[in-house]
Structure 1
Amino acid sequence: MIAQLEAEILAAIEAANDPAALEAVRVAALGKSGSISELLKSLGKMSPEERREQGPQINGLRDRVAGLIAEKKAALEAAELDAKLASERVDLTLPPPPRRRGSVHPTMQVMDEMIAVFAEMGFSVAEGPDIETDFNNFTALNFPEKHPAREMHDTFFLQEDAKGERKVLRTHTSPVQVRVMRATNEQLPAWIANGQEPPIRVIVPGRTFRKDSDQTHTPMFHQIEGLVIDKGIHMGHLKWTLETFIAKFFETDAVETRFRPHHFPFTEPSAEMDVRCDRSGGEVKIGQGSDWLEILGCGMVHPNVLRNCGLDPDVWQGFAFGAGVDRLGVLKYGMPDLRDMFASDVRWLEHYGFSAFAAPNPATGLS
């Protein structure tokens, strides 16, 4: 009986032509309910004489079958590997796959485009800290003591310092305008060459922070503000500057704008600037259609702001404006949700990101 069983198992091992078939043979012979396992279980019911005779034969059969199965498994795996190597040869003469390259974030691309446009109009770039004093962020800019923007629901306030002052994460980039106007020649940073004495013509790109989050607002966002201080400045200068910027930035000469009266504490008169656009087809096309789109806020610098910064409003006048960098990028490049700008989704960056090696933009001279 043992010899017959061994012949049957050996034939099954020989016939197994893949690892799955061989595993089935192993389970049928050596598994918990396998034929050899059942024989081993029967040893307990035998007499001592029978166990002495049958035991070595059954155990020898188990060892021989286990060894043959291991050999056949190794042979099958080697054959499978050889077949795989034969069918998946690598042509070493082919060039390697291209390395994944990073891209310029849309916010940085848009900011560079805006800076380039204003640079052509003679603006310098000014920068300042993200953490500001209450004076620079609010008081110097003519915000009344109880103005809603000072409340906790709009502003991120820090803990009081040793002097009892609570600094803030700046809610706009306008504090840098205050710093530029108040700076003395000795304290003047290297990024502005005109000194305290006007004329002043600067733009201020940077991060700002407000407690706001929806499809068109994020707690941290980017702004670019402009400030011009000189003698004889009026709204006509402001309108020309902004219309020239919009035409250059959106790469179209067909720009039609309108200025609606508004209120900002730091400008008087104040205005919101809209541009004519077409919203049909799920896109916003600047310079055509019959719709209007709010782009930015602007106005003449308030006399109180000039006084707070040490300038005589009877001598010096100026205008200021501010626009959201991220929002203008969304409009120009057709991005559906402002929050995606800050989601750190590599797939989104691969789709909307800009190559650092692309040909220069003919409108701005930037990549």
Structure 2
Amino acid sequence: MSAPNKSFDPVEVEALKPEAVERALDEALAALAAAADLGALHEAEIAHAKDRSPLALANREIGALPPAAKAEAGKRVGQARAAVARAVAERRTVLEAERDARVLVEESVDVTLPWDRAPRGGRHPLTTLAERVGEVFSALGWEVTEGPEVEAEWMNFDALNISRDHPARSPQDTFFVRTPGVDPNDPTHTERDSLILRTQTSPVQIRTMLKRQPPLHMVCIGRTFRTDALDATHTPVFNQIEGLVVDEGIGMADLKGTLDHFVKAMFGAGLATRLRPNYFPFTEPSAELDLQCFVCHGASVGDPDHPCRTCSSEGWIELGGCGVVNPRVLVSAGIDPERYSGFAFGIGLERTLMFRHGIADMHDIVEGDIRFTLPFGVEI
């Protein structure tokens, strides 16, 4: 900055000439008017209104003028700087209004949209069906029981009259859990020491009979495990519906009536059932429960022009195994077979679900795809 000099002619200070100040003002106003957004306005303000702007630098030169010239130069530069400040404020007001209007459009929230656009989700149909089955038997006065999924081998096989050389007891069919501290080659080792993942819910029957004396009316709905590969009709983890009645004078007629009631509750009235002879170690006599095809009602049998994919035109669908409780099983549980008899049945929960809703592939049930569960809703 120049030092005061009374003999200095102010006309010689280029930045303070009227035309220079006017030119700096015009350039500032033009730059501010051309600012398209607040960012551009900020840059224009720095260039034309802040400490390094032409007018600010010209203002610094006033101190070098003689006292008589300072007033005129100060007034001229001050008016120009004030005009620039007003232009900045006015342009900022306009740009902020434009920004606010744009934000209201681009970031608006339509509060009139439906409030229930988020799906409610859906309970897994196996859970819903299991609860419904429990309600069916609870209405008959039966007890809904539970038991451990990791079970003693004796409970799962020996107590149910399944011999030690039975194929179901091999690792090809059963998941064995090695018990800590037990050597399977130890001659003192027994099936009571071995632990497995239960292959059926029947051990719950044994546990119930060991705890209480007849009469017993119970149903168990729970997970079981077998070394099956996952395919369209099999899964290594599945659910069973296991029923047991032990009382005086119980026979096959009671079993048939109970199963007919179950089929009616699950699939509707008007469907016939039949018991087809079979063999199970824990029941004698034993039978397979067949359900009349709920699609063709047997009409496709012998009619090649109208085949039924559901029952393969056989007219019947296998639902599960059943029979009168083998006396040896009663003896294993400490119940007198001379006084008491009973019946038992086992039906797959997944199989029941597939039949009820026309599900063709087991993968849909076990893979957890929400597109499968949503149509079933949140039925309670």
Normalising by structure 2, we get a TM-score of 0.65
| Backbone CA RMSD of aligned residues | 3.1
Shift of 1:81: 10
Q: Is the 8 A contact 1:299 1:321 kept in 2?
A: yes
Partner of 1:166: 194
Partner of 1:341: 365
Deviations 1:26-47 (A, max 9, x none): xxxxxxxxxxxxxxxxxxxxxx
Shift of 1:101: 2.3
Matched AA of 2:351:
R
Structure 1 gap segments, 5+ residues each:
1-16, 18-77, 184-195, 357-366
Shift of 1:276: 1.1
Shift of 1:92: 3.4
**Which of 224, 249, 252 matches 2:241?**
224
> Judging changes above 3 Å, is the alpha-carbon distance between structure 1 residues 87 and 133 closer, same or farther for their aligned structure 2 residues?
closer
Query: Is the aligned partner of 1:302 residue 2:326?
Result: yes
> Judging changes above 3 Å, is the alpha-carbon distance between structure 1 residues 294 and 94 closer, same or farther for their aligned structure 2 residues?
closer
Shift of 1:90: 2.8
**Which of 220, 233, 250 matches 1:204?**
220
**Cα distance in structure 1, aligned partners of 2:378 and 2:349:** 19
Shift of 1:258: 1.2
Shift of 1:284: 7.9
**Which of 173, 176, 193 matches 2:204?**
176
Deviations 1:232-259 (A, max 9, x none): 1110000000001101111x22021111
Q: Matched residue of 1:140: which SS? A: helix
Matched AA of 2:199:
T
Partner of 2:126: 107
Partner of 1:241: 258
Shift of 1:128: 0.3
Query: Is the aligned partner of 1:311 residue 2:335?
Result: yes
Shift of 1:200: 0.3
Partner of 1:291: 315
Q: Give the percent of matched residue pairs that are identical in Structure 1 and Structure 2.
A: 42
- Aligned pairs, how many? 272
Partner of 1:273: 289
Structure 2 gap segments, 5+ residues each:
1-35, 37-96, 184-192, 297-305
Matched AA of 2:131:
D
Shift of 1:283: 8.1
Query: Is the aligned partner of 1:355 residue 2:378?
Result: yes
Q: Matched residue of 1:318: which SS? A: strand
**Which of 138, 142, 147 matches 1:123?**
142
Q: Matched residue of 1:223: which SS? A: strand
Shift of 1:261: 0.8
Matched AA of 1:269:
P
Q: Is the 8 A contact 1:301 1:319 kept in 2?
A: yes
Shift of 1:339: 2.4
The range that moved more, 274-283 or 109-118, is 274-283
Matched AA of 1:107:
L
